Chain A
Amino acid sequence: MTSAEREKCSSESVSLNRRNFLRAATGIGLGGSLFSFAPVPALALPGAKKVVVVTFGGGARDEETFMPDGQENIPHLLNELIPRATFFSQVINRGILGHYVATASLATGAYETFNNFAAVAPDNPTVFEYFRKDLKRPETDAWVVAPSNGFARIGQSGNRLYGPGLGAEVILPKRLLAAALNSSGTRDYDHLLRDSYESPVYLQALASDTEELHRLGEILKLSVEDFTRLARSLMSADELSVFVAHQLMRRFAPSLLWITLHDMDIAHSGTFSLYLEGIQRSDQLCSDIWKMIQSEPEYAGKTTMFILPDFGRDSDTESGGNGFQHHRTGDVRSRTTWMMALGPGIRENVIVERPVESVDLVPTLGSLLGFQAKLSSGKPLTEIL
């Protein structure tokens, strides 16, 4: 068996385990599965006009999510969201498994190859640029809420045909918090504001920009005082991100909103319990976001939500890694993840088993919203179109 065949078998095995568990946990049966899917026209529901994408910038493994021992960590995904969703059980990421470069690849629909730790713009046009240029949308119609400084340039590529003036505004809540704390002359918050869990040590400090804080405070209609007061009531940076996303939804009702959650990436510190807590928090926040969508008049009934981890994490049995802690081996478990889509026109309680790629997201969004992802290497996911 060649390595490609071995990889295919292993990926299918991952998918099979996930499907079996989903059947047991959620009652999705064979009748609901699309083993050999032919494209069908959208159902007679109104076409989706808005899209919210939620990515986990910190892979979650099957063992801690969809397998029996992981069930306790994702009650909201299992009981509330998957029954309403089309679930892709085998989403393969063939790119670099670093969170910024992988999330950038999700956003461009092409495998980016830049240094994960470099503050650079993606080479290929982002979904935000395709969306805004093709549909002539204003800058307030596409936003990114991302976890850390490293994601500052994810909203706009370096591609000459797109790029400047066509991207999405990126809000980094931790940077806002850093600016807010600095403006109030507070103490050393390096630990709180650490930017990345991927480094072997907590190295990167967040830059803070008071001007940016006030500008975004104006955008969000939120004073520095209110912002810091709110932060004091929250448990994590991801909760802050979801709050900011909600403010954006109320203020601008963007048609394309991209939220990257990051709490679970504390797995890099090697603390299994904190990794589980991060998954549990993400599970809760996904439910919260869905409820926000349903409760906001601008979104209810016309929004498609996508949820996907950027990739997985290393297998326990991969000798080159250290199990859940990292995603460095490039093994099948770290490359294979899942995606769910839910909203009007999306089939409910359906599992799609065929392998798809994480770069398929952008052309799928293009088909949903009406733009062409010309430089994406992915293909539209016909099962949800």
Chain B
Amino acid sequence: MPISPSGLKAEDFAKYPPGARQLATSYLPLLKDLPLAFLPLLLREIIQYDWKFPAERRDLDRQLSYLASLSAGERRATLASFAELKLSPSLEQLDWVGTPVRFSEQLTAYLWASHQIDSFRSAAVAYVQKLDSVTPTDPLPMPRLAIVLIGQGVAENKYRLFRKLRRQGVYYKQVDPRNGLESVLEVVARRAHAHPAPFAHWYIDGGSAEILRSGEISRVSYQSLAPVRAALLNHIQKIAQSNTPGPEALVAALAQMQPAELGMSGDSVLNRFQLDLLTQGSGTQVFSTTFVQWAAREALRRAQPVTMFARFAPRQRERPLNELLAGAFPNEMDPHGALVDADMGGYYTWLNQQRLSGAEKSSFLIWFEDHAEALAVGPALKGGVESGERVSLAQILDSIA
């Protein structure tokens, strides 16, 4: 293992997957010139290159290309804030090439403990802003659209829905719910058919994703991952019994897992993504609402799709102390709690969509499934508007999609 980045050699990447190895070795002169507080974070991305979505690969290629295009002096200036961070000798001795995820976890803990986390955060924000400003983005084949369905199984509701989104768009309170789901499915399928591309159109469901079958749509569902979740929890239990010291070590251990270890087969990129959802997201293993919110967030952040359809479902009920002690473990669901979770999850989905390119042209729809409340955001819609007009979901979709 090299002691410093300048000592890196091509054989240090021998254990990387093929695509990652090729990428790392082709940029070896660049990697040797990067500060240690920055390089492992980049290697953390490179080592996963073979399982990255096309948009992620594109972004990583651009980042490396940009850094390589700078003169040594320009690069030093760009990364000076990272280079100024003081690392501990024990950090420097970690295998930051072979296990950059583990290094990142320990670096984070160290930056907090040494009161350098704010400096690191500022450096990271400035770097990303600079990167965004100098690297071009590809034009989108169509404006982005996100659709979120919430409240499945809720008969009555007193919670004020869409409270954080109302000033962004039009709040419809007289929606005709008939054929609402069908209208959504039709729009999603039509968009996927019009512009088919790998991982450009997504459907995430908190229950089963059986309602929309199309080869052009990436589908993820909480229900279909039930065996994987069970296998993962079993694996975690074993790690816990082996006295793994603390959550950072656990995260690093889980990062080493392969989808096949949990019985996953099929698309390796999608499998890896689903494994990441369960191993990197808190609560995704237990609550379907958390799963959908985090899956939508990660799909938007990583795959940068043009179509996102996220459908929340009831989640399991959190049992209070007295019920747990009574020993009754009925498999109860909590539709209303899930509605409140999903209302916030919908807001976060909109926020995450807004972080992507083309945000000014993107549209968003959230609907209280089978009920009369919906909210739409789009370039043609004014914010903070309340509509009492009786409309169908198809009509709302026509106005934004």
Contact = CB atoms under 8 A, between A and B. Distances in A.
Contact of A118 (B246, B280, B318): B246
A357 interface: no
Contacts of B109: 115
A160 interface: no
A270 interface: yes
A113 B290 contact: no
Contact of B322 (A98, A199, A235): A235
A109 interface: no
Contacts of A113: 113-115
Interface string B330-360: 0000101111110111011001000100000
Interface in B269-296: 279-287, 289-290, 293-294
A319 to B, nearest CB: 6
A323 interface: yes
B112 interface: yes
Interface string A267-294: 0111111101000000000000000000
Contacts of B251: 200
Given A201-B250, A270-B282, A270-B289, A115 B113 contact: yes
B289 A271 contact: yes
A236 B320 contact: yes
Given A200-B280, A271-B318, A316-B347, A191 B324 contact: yes
B251 to A, nearest CB: 6
A203 B247 contact: yes
Given A192-B321, A239-B321, A240-B321, A269 B112 contact: no
B322 A232 contact: yes
A274 to B, nearest CB: 5
B290 A269 contact: yes
Contact of A234 (B285, B322, B340): B322
Nearest to B286: A269
Nearest to A192: B324
Interface in B294-345: 294, 297, 315, 318, 320-322, 324-327, 334, 336-341, 343-345
Given A3-B118, A192-B321, A271-B341, A187 B293 contact: no
B344 A324 contact: yes
Given A111-B115, A117-B248, A271 B283 contact: yes
Interface string A177-201: 0000100001101011000111111
A266 B344 CA distance: 15
Given A111-B115, A113-B113, A322-B297, A203 B250 contact: yes
A145 interface: no
Contacts, number: 144
Contacts of B340: 272-273, 276
Interface in A226-244: 228, 231-237, 239-240
Contact of B321 (A94, A231, A316): A231
Contacts of A235: 320-322
A200 B337 contact: no
Majority DSSP secondary structure for residues of B touching A = helix
Interface in A111-168: 111, 113-115, 117-118
A322 B341 CA distance: 13
Contacts of A268: 282-283
Nearest to B251: A200
Chain A interface size, under 10 / 10 to 19 / 20 to 34 / 35 or more: 35 or more
A329 interface: yes
B348 A323 contact: yes
A205 interface: yes
B236 interface: yes
A233 B322 contact: yes
B117 interface: yes
B133 to A, nearest CB: 16
A65 to B, nearest CB: 15
A268 B112 CA distance: 19
A270 B113 contact: no
A227 B327 CA distance: 17
A259 B289 CA distance: 32
B101 to A, nearest CB: 13
Contacts of A326: 282
A330 B285 contact: no
B321 A270 contact: no
A36 interface: no
A191 B287 CA distance: 14
A271 B337 contact: yes
A317 B254 CA distance: 28
A272 B341 contact: yes
Contact of B283 (A3, A269, A323, A329): A269
Contacts of A204: 240
Nearest to A235: B320
B247 A322 contact: no
Contact of B247 (A200, A231, A232, A316): A200
B247 A192 contact: no
B117 A330 contact: yes
Contact of A96 (B112, B239, B337, B351): B112
Contacts of B114: 113
Nearest to A4: B118
30 contacts: A3-B122, A7-B118, A69-B163, A69-B164, A94-B115, A96-B113, A114-B113, A117-B246, A187-B327, A189-B324, A192-B324, A200-B250, A200-B280, A232-B325, A234-B322, A239-B321, A240-B321, A266-B318, A268-B283, A269-B282, A269-B286, A270-B290, A271-B287, A271-B315, A272-B343, A273-B336, A273-B337, A276-B340, A320-B124, A330-B121
Interface of A: 3, 7, 69, 94-98, 111, 113-115, 117-118, 181, 186-187, 189, 191-192, 196-205, 228, 231-237, 239-240, 266, 268-274, 276, 316-317, 319-320, 322-326, 329-331
Interface of B: 109, 112-115, 117-118, 121-122, 124, 163-164, 233, 236, 239-240, 246-248, 250-251, 254, 279-287, 289-290, 293-294, 297, 315, 318, 320-322, 324-327, 334, 336-341, 343-345, 347-348, 351, 355
Given A199-B247, A320-B121, 6 more contacts: A111-B115, A113-B115, A203-B239, A316-B347, A323-B351, A329-B121
* Nearest 8 CB-CB pairings of A with B: A270-B290, A269-B283, A273-B340, A199-B247, A117-B246, A272-B344, A270-B283, A273-B337
